[in-house]
Chain A
């Protein structure tokens, strides 16, 4: 930009100094200040995360003293050791991972098929179906009515499938996909049809493979949502042996936090608790931090690679949504 400025100044026969000098300081200082602000911002974003990692690698008793910043004072793998041997956690991990995979696959297949059907202009049911689906983005019956319907009337209490069946479809994702499919060259579908391919085959062999970037976005949204959810457990799984068998990772973490973290200070209260009974020791700050780290790793490893995709996906969805 600077170069073009100089050029135009020269062509206009204005002394170059007249334009450039008054702004020079701003132009040099601004990028530096900007970079510093952004670096501070990154530090603020990362600090809690690094802090948690530091706690997770700390020695139990030392961590209870608090005041750990970005590195563990007394390094220990004790928490991770305990975590590997925690059968409840292992079970919760299996429940969470399996439901995330099932929901993601079902969502991708159902949503993309629907998006394809609704992008066909010659399909007369396109309009009415779209309206019925889009309306769902405008209302939500509310937490309790939904619970009464799904849990009480449909009877999905204390079963694994309550994690999966109610969340197989999202209208937002359908719109993202439909917008993308509508933007593909129409000739693709036509030529497939001339070659005698059925609608289903056209979708599966021509359109579906072309949607990979958006499918990646939708998969990420769905998987993150499923992985991070804990409230379904709270609503639909009653306390007792069902809960032990069916709790999700985030629910497990949440219950650990509720038992341990409700005092304003995490050091004083927790130490006293830890001294009092052995059970509390299993949920020390160090252990909870380790659970936090383990439960967020799968997503944190994946998302940077999908960044390019989900940015376009977000824009597609919000422009047309």
Chain B
């Protein structure tokens, strides 16, 4: 955005002398381009905050149009964290657990794949690998889950492979045993997003000065040493910033996988806060409790995200915002 002083800036100066109202009048076209969207955002992005009020009135017996809904204050929140709220605490645990697994597996796999891709010299091959690994990102979660149901079925290919290799004595119930659920969401998410997640890391790697690699090679560094001492330090700042931003999204463990795969016996380990809210609203008709749980997640989410941003900004003034 650097530009030499020119007509526009001198225009800007004269603009400042006039009253703001007059300036705005002359910019009615810019206003026409931006104000409607602003109003739209106020209605559809800020408006839902109004829905939070449902947490403080008694909507725990359905929404019933004409029934009375007395003020209940913080009762819904007391429900969540009280003795009756075991389900909520469980969903909080599941959310955090799956988040951390996703974060670790997602980051490690993306960096590994980015390094491998970065070492490929043949452009066509590199592009092919990228195109193929981006593919699952474009598939809907419904499709991905249905594929996972085939692949991890008790008579599916993974179990047949494990049985064939003698690594398992009987089929492993990957999708019907709660103990595997967190790991399965991690695996499914990696399969879906690993290629996509490399985009940022690869772009960080291409901005590493090639002379660093040459210098390292002259100093006798092999492939692995070059990766260790040139590539990894080169993506460090990207890594740190993405990590911090992801910590800001710690409560976003997802909804779709958990909703689509989390039936029956695995519910103990699959239900995230979002699924909890959904179930309490539409199955139990307890809208106040459901709203309170959504609200809790939002507020903690904002705190985490703002905190993460402040830290990231402190660490690197230029890279963010």
Contacts and interface: CB of A to CB of B under 8 A. Distances in A.
B33 A200 contact: yes
Given A35-B120, A138-B305, A141-B48, A307 B130 contact: yes
A262 B263 contact: yes
A84 interface: no
Chain A interface, DSSP helix/strand/loop, else mixed: helix
A142 to B, nearest CB: 3
B36 to A, nearest CB: 8
A172 interface: no
Contacts of B92: none
B145 A257 contact: yes
A132 B37 CA distance: 11
A292 B141 CA distance: 11
A200 B29 contact: yes
A300 B138 contact: yes
A254 B203 contact: no
B48 A146 contact: yes
Interface string A130-158: 00110010111111111111101110000
Nearest to B141: A228
Given A51-B147, A169-B37, A224 B281 contact: no
B138 A303 contact: yes
Interface residues of A, number: 111
Given A31-B121, A110-B37, A264-B175, A1 B155 contact: no
B205 to A, nearest CB: 12
Contact of B41 (A49, A133, A138): A133
Interface stretch (A74-82, A97-105, A115-123): A115-123
Contact of B143 (A35, A266, A292, A321): A292
Interface in B239-290: 255-256, 260, 263-264, 274, 277-278, 281, 287, 290
B33 A27 contact: no
Contact of B45 (A42, A121, A136, A311): A136
Interface in B116-142: 116-117, 119-121, 125, 127-136, 138-142
B297 to A, nearest CB: 6
B154 A265 contact: yes
A296 B139 contact: yes
B246 to A, nearest CB: 12
Nearest to A229: B140
A9 B117 CA distance: 28
A112 B78 CA distance: 45
Nearest to B252: A140
Interface of B: 1, 3, 6-8, 11-12, 15, 20, 23-24, 27, 29-34, 36-38, 40-52, 54, 63, 113, 116-117, 119-121, 125, 127-136, 138-143, 145-151, 153-157, 160, 173, 175-176, 191, 195, 199-200, 203, 213-214, 217-218, 220, 222-224, 255-256, 260, 263-264, 274, 277-278, 281, 287, 290-291, 293-295, 297-298, 301-302, 305-306, 319, 321
Given A26-B222, A42-B128, A266-B150, 20 more contacts: A22-B222, A30-B119, A31-B119, A31-B121, A44-B191, A69-B157, A110-B36, A113-B34, A113-B37, A117-B34, A139-B305, A141-B51, A144-B290, A145-B54, A169-B41, A250-B143, A254-B142, A257-B260, A264-B173, A296-B139
